[in-house]
Amino acid sequence: GENVGLHLPTLSVQEGDNSIINCAYSNSASDYFIWYKQESGKGPQFIIDIRSNMDKRQGQRVTVLLNKTVKHLSLQIAATQPGDSAVYFCAESPQTNFGNEKLTFGTGTRLTIIP
Amino acid sequence: DSGVTQTPKHLITATGQRVTLRCSPRSGDLSVYWYQQSLDQGLQFLIQYYNGEERAKGNILERFSAQQFPDLHSELNLSSLELGDSALYFCASSVVDRPGNTIYFGEGSWLTVV
């Protein structure tokens, strides 16, 4: 079946460096992509999203890149801080008439920032 | 704080029992979603409600049911509990019912079945 997967389960980055978290998806009908951050004991927190009609979107210290040709999504975090340590999930949703009910999450990547 | 409130935060119960998890969506959000997060399954979509009506079903067991009330709060009922039902259950909400609306998650309800 369709799935969203992450290339790397763990990633360690030196504080201040940039990090890149990757995600592959297989559902060609995917229209909307989201990155969530989940800290220990907390719920997933929205970071940034992107629609399929875009290939790049920037937020505060974060950038999401979408390559529809190879069905690849990445999250770049600039100048990482200790508070960035968390598990990061990509999620995707196909274009539907009713909303985000088919939001499918990847397995997650644990990002550890080394002081 | 996402604005989505879930109770209880922690719950320990025995196999065969029934529990109810409660969720209050963000003010103004009409859609409510339930997700299950376990170590071996990741985040799995269970069910979605929009303005009181069931909108979509995911991997929800027949022993589980949910509803959304007129005041938009939602409850997830888990019955005949098994050890494997131990997980973190998240409620999430979004403002309107179309693709591209941000879904905000609550802090979750930890369910331990013993």
> What's the confidence (pLDDT) of residue A99?
53
Q: Which of residues 2-61 of B touch A (CB under 8 A)?
A: 2, 4, 31, 33, 42-45, 48, 50, 55-56, 58
**Mean pLDDT, chain B, integer:** 92
> What's the confidence (pLDDT) of residue B56?
87
pLDDT beyond 60 at A7: no
pLDDT beyond 60 at A1: no
Q: pLDDT tens digits for B83-104?
A: 999 999 999 998 865 656 788 9
Q: pLDDT tens digits for B41-85?
A: 678 999 999 999 998 898 899 999 999 999 999 999 999 999 999
Q: Which of residues 1-40 of A touch B (CB under 8 A)?
A: 31-32, 34, 36
Q: Which of B43, B98, B104 sits opposite A99 (nearest CB)?
A: B98
Arithmetic mean of pLDDT, A69-94: 94
Count residue pairs from A and B with Cβ separation < 8 A: 78
Residues of B in contact with A107 (CB under 8 A): 42
User: d(Cα B13, Cα A60) in Å, to the nearest integer?
Assistant: 42
pLDDT beyond 90 at A18: yes
- Return phi, psi of residue B99, to 5°: -60, 145
**Mean pLDDT, chain A, integer:** 86
Residues of B in contact with A105 (CB under 8 A): 42-45
> What's the confidence (pLDDT) of residue A31?
85
Q: Do A49 and B4 count as a contact with CB atoms less than 8 A apart?
A: no
**Helical ranges in B5-99 per DSSP H:** none
> What's the confidence (pLDDT) of residue B103?
86
Higher pLDDT, A26 or B48: B48
Q: Do A44 and B48 count as a contact with CB atoms less than 8 A apart?
A: no
Confidence band for B106, pLDDT divided at 50, 70 and 90: very high
Q: pLDDT tens digits for B18-50?
A: 999 999 999 989 999 999 998 766 789 999 999
Q: Which residues contact B28 (CB under 8 A, 6 or more apart)?
A: B95
> What's the confidence (pLDDT) of residue B41?
67
Q: pLDDT tens digits for A31-52?
A: 889 999 999 888 999 999 999 9
> What's the confidence (pLDDT) of residue A3?
42
Confidence band for A95, pLDDT divided at 50, 70 and 90: low
**Percentage of residues in chain A having pLDDT higher than 90:** 66
Q: Which of residues 38-77 of A touch B (CB under 8 A)?
A: 41-46, 49, 51
